[in-house]
Structure 1
């Protein structure tokens, strides 16, 4: 039941072409230590599912900058100029979907639900197809999103969205025990539990490692059944995307 190993061991079986669900929102709650270790390992052609792709020099942005990522499924692509450049030049395939839909696709994958209907995206290219997934070098659309099934429920049209299941998931938690039970700090609960559920093998980096039984069961945000490997990172570096200050008159 002891799932604690070092980062290199935890990621050793991630190969080129693997699919990854990566927790975090912006730079909040991202598994930066695991991402750094994966970058150092030289793995490439990764298919990443994450709310966004970090910034140019941090988070998933360091993998993207070295062209280790070939496809991204996400809901927000701001704050990363290299992401935009690769997408528009045809170097990167990108599937955009509404943020709530992305969250539910991950949750459904973890719950064994193959697909679900939602009204989000109806009347747009999300449902009707034609959203550019990959551009050609000349700026034309090389791969476009397909049209999705639509049905009416209670007089409202809904679109069918498929669940997401990935080979691996990388998440970050404030506290975890040796059995993989996790507690996330405030808004770091964002996509971390959902990504952890969607991964066939989930690796969690934890800032504070405690013994089984030390976490009140009522305080557990994600039970250890969803976590296969735990990596202790007590001194993980954290960054802020943007710092906004207000001058106070003296």
Structure 2
């Protein structure tokens, strides 16, 4: 079955072949979607280009959400190529290391603002640009983490940032619902990605997740991609505003 046949998917946040966004792009491709990908900057492009090739991406475009005009250029390119968009994946987050590794109490004003703008407000901006391209409805997905719901050791300021992201998901789901645009967040368990490795004591977090998850195993980017396909498919047309956990049941443990 190819549940995403004839659908157009824009996946933002591929860092390399091991990133969550790459898992989504791969799964979308196998499910029949046409793919557009972005890369953060010239340094990242060599790591993203092989992913684009592997999924037959029709577009590979630069997007640094902190650079004015780049996001608009991406959506303009999608408009020129297809004139519509069915699926948008927002899989980006950033916080300066000095603020990420310190206490929430000590987070700088600049670091907090940058983390919120890059990780949260970028989704708002993307949703605004995607809305007119989803005239027949569509799906917007973002990536969160359990640390947005409960305090997770060493996740620090990214906990409040993800909590804000989840609040934005709910608001967008309500506002865009009348246009049949569904907005959901996927909450994977800890994954050995480049982004995850920036968290202090990340190996301890991975080991604890493996020990505490009911199946005593870690999830993979393929697991996340499979759920992304499900949420983007017509069969999930009544699912919106949700936080969907892909963590092997880890979140149900006290």
Structure whose residues are more often strand by fraction: 1
User: Higher RCO, 1 or 2 (CA under 8 Å, sep at least 6)?
Assistant: 1
Structure whose residues are more often helix by fraction: 2
State the structure with more CA Rg.
1
TM-score higher than 0.5: no
* TM-score normalised by the chain length of structure 2: 0.29
* TM-score normalised by the chain length of structure 1: 0.29
